Amino acid sequence: MCGQCGCTPEDESEASAGPSHKHPHVHEGGEAHSHEHSHGEGEGHRHVHGQGGHSHPHVHGTSEAHSHEHTHGAGQDHDHVHGESPTHAARIVVDKARAGVLGVNSKAADKIREAMTRRGIVLVNITSGPGSGKTTLLKSTLGALESGTAAVLVGDLETERDAGRLRGLGAQVRQINTGKGCHLSAAQIAQALENLELEGLEFVFIENVGNMACPAEFDLGEHVRVALLSLPEGDDKVAKYPGLFAAADVILLNKIDLSRVLPFDEGLVKDDLSRINTRAVLLRLSAMGGQGLDEWIQWLKAFRAAKMPKA
Amino acid sequence: MHELSLAQSLVERVEAEAAKAALLKVTRVEASLGSLLGVEKDLFEEAFAISARGARCEGARLELRAEGAEARCRACGERYEPEWQDFQCPACGLAEPEILKGRDLFLYALSGEQAN
């Protein structure tokens, strides 16, 4: 006997053998039929049949309660598997080739990289924590490059302040407000690039959101990933945020003019980098004071000359 | 913060797949996390629950598998398993890996209520 509604299955052994069973019952008007259906252990339901139409209010194991309203004539049997009407339970398997969640971003990034390479434009993604000097580095870099050859895409939470600091230096500046987003995505870059006049450009710099964790995982289609580390942040950042430094092609040690007053062990940074990234170029500079800036500019120009077929 | 950005990416993807498959409600999400993402599983689950608010997958059970890392040394070609804070090649000692596996988040399957 069904423990929930008290009806007796046509075949008791069938009912006890598994979750699938039948309930015979008589409707008003004398139509008798049974329903075959499946439900998990402990899931009950109740039938209240009326002539012609009837409903089944019942509670399933996952606490979805619902009812079916349907009509059937005398003596007609039907089968149904329960799910929330008008739905049924389903499991969707994602095609393996598309399963990578970040892969979507990577594909968009590859498209950007190809498009920029065709135009001979080097895309540079500058990542770092907040306050390590990204905007100052860009001001100095724009000042050192020939006017009109560089543009900047500035990713920032809410404010326009960084973009404002970069205007008036002979470069196109576009702000990308990420709202509450903690990183930029390739799709945002693709859109921002559409709003740039690309003719005559040699470099497009992306000032990523100040954040040492999230931007590391998102390829923006750049040719060069820069990780900026300034002395006041401390010499333990490479070990603490290996993702950011592992993904970098260039590591810029900024604010080196503070080395006289700050205890910062460059040896520790190099030691950590020996385990995290031995490929990256390490340059020391002061974006504000100007020390080491020439080497950075020379590195950029040499990279473009070597890697851009159109340059 | 890191967990939240990745969880948001997963939720966006789940929503897109759910919409495509006409799932009105998602009750279970099967995914894997690459070990090089450096994500804390507990934090990620919490971040997923927060990111899923108001979405079809709100309240869905998240089943996470760990995915190991694999790298090929750009210098000597050795294949090895890098760790979160150690990318050094065991053969030549350089840390210049091309990461083959372990840096992505995979969505394998989603279950829920599909429109008839």
- Nearest Cα neighbor of A249 from A278, A269, A272 is A278
Please say whether the beta carbons of B62 and B110 come within 8 A. no
> Taking CB atoms and an 8 Å cutoff, what residues of chain B touch A65?
none
Please provide the average confidence, as pLDDT, over all residues in chain A. 79
pLDDT of residue A232: 97
> Taking CB atoms and an 8 Å cutoff, what residues of chain B touch A276?
85-87, 95
Query: What span, in angstroms and rounded, lies between the C-alpha atoms of B5 and B1?
Result: 6
pLDDT of residue A81: 52
| Alpha-carbon distance A179 to nearest alpha carbon in chain B (angstroms) | 13
Closest partner residue to A87 (CB to CB) among B13, B24, B108 is B24
pLDDT of residue A156: 80
- DSSP conformation class of A303: H
**Residue pointed to by tokens 């990308």:** A176
Closest partner residue to A242 (CB to CB) among B17, B21, B85 is B85
Residue A23, pLDDT > 70, answer no
Mean pLDDT across the stretch A39-64?
Answer: 41
Residue A2, pLDDT > 70, answer no
Residue B74, pLDDT > 90, answer yes
| Alpha-carbon distance A13 to nearest alpha carbon in chain B (angstroms) | 31
List, in sequence order, every beta strand (DSSP E) within chain A: 20-26, 32-38, 44-45, 48-49, 53-55, 58-59, 65-66, 69-71, 78-79, 87-93, 122-127, 150-156, 172-177, 203-207, 224-230, 250-254, 281-284
pLDDT digits (tens, 9 = 90+) for A87-126: 899 999 999 888 899 888 999 999 999 999 999 999 999 9
| Alpha-carbon distance A61 to nearest alpha carbon in chain B (angstroms) | 13
pLDDT of residue A285: 98
Task: Please return the burial class of A113, using the count of CB atoms within 10 Å of its CB with bins 0-12, 13-18 and 19+.
Answer: middle
pLDDT digits (tens, 9 = 90+) for B42-70: 999 999 999 999 999 999 999 999 999 99
Tell me, what amino acid is at B95?
A
Residue A29, pLDDT > 70, answer no
ipTM over the 0.95 cut-off: no
Specify the higher pLDDT residue, A228 or A181.
A228
Residue A63 touches chain B, beta carbons under 8 Å: no
Most confident of A79-93, A149-163, B31-45: B31-45
For the beta sheet containing A58-59, the strands, ordered from the edge strand earlier in sequence to the opposite edge, are: A44-45, A58-59, A65-66
Closest partner residue to B1 (CB to CB) among A213, A275, A279 is A213
Give the residue extent of every domain in chain A: 12-79, 103-307
Residue A46, pLDDT > 70, answer no
> Taking CB atoms and an 8 Å cutoff, what residues of chain B touch A217?
2, 5-6, 37, 103
- A102 contacts B103? CB cut-off 8 A: yes
pLDDT of residue B1: 54
Specify the higher pLDDT residue, A67 or B91.
B91
Mean pLDDT across the stretch B9-23?
Answer: 95
Mean pLDDT across the stretch A184-203?
Answer: 95
Apex CA A183: angle with CA B30 and CA A217, to 5°?
Answer: 55
pLDDT digits (tens, 9 = 90+) for A249-302: 999 999 999 999 999 999 999 999 999 999 999 999 999 999 999 999 999 999
Q: In the CATH scheme, what is the code of domain A103-307?
A: 3.40.50.300
DSSP secondary structure, A190-241, as one string: HHHHHTS--TT-SEEEEE--S-SSGGGG---S-SEEEEEEEGGG-TTHHHH-
Domains of chain B: 2-68+102-114 (3.30.2320.50)
pLDDT of residue B38: 83
- B17 contacts A94? CB cut-off 8 A: yes
pLDDT of residue A310: 66
> Taking CB atoms and an 8 Å cutoff, what residues of chain A touch B24?
87
pLDDT digits (tens, 9 = 90+) for B75-116: 999 999 999 889 999 999 999 999 999 989 999 999 999 988
Residue B6 touches chain A, beta carbons under 8 Å: yes
- A102 contacts B105? CB cut-off 8 A: yes
What percent of chain A is modeled with pLDDT above 70? 71
Q: Using CB atoms and an 8 Å cut-off, which of residues 15-74 of chain B contact chain A?
A: 17-18, 21, 23-25, 27-28, 31, 36-38, 74
Residue B78 touches chain A, beta carbons under 8 Å: no
Query: What span, in angstroms and rounded, lies between the C-alpha atoms of A281 and A245?
Result: 11
Specify the higher pLDDT residue, B79 or A72.
B79
**What pLDDT band is residue A8 in, cutting at 50, 70 and 90?**
very low
Residue A62, pLDDT > 90, answer no
Mean pLDDT across the stretch A236-245?
Answer: 95
> Taking CB atoms and an 8 Å cutoff, what residues of chain B touch A242?
38, 84-85, 87
pLDDT of residue A82: 52
pLDDT of residue A130: 94
pLDDT of residue B43: 93
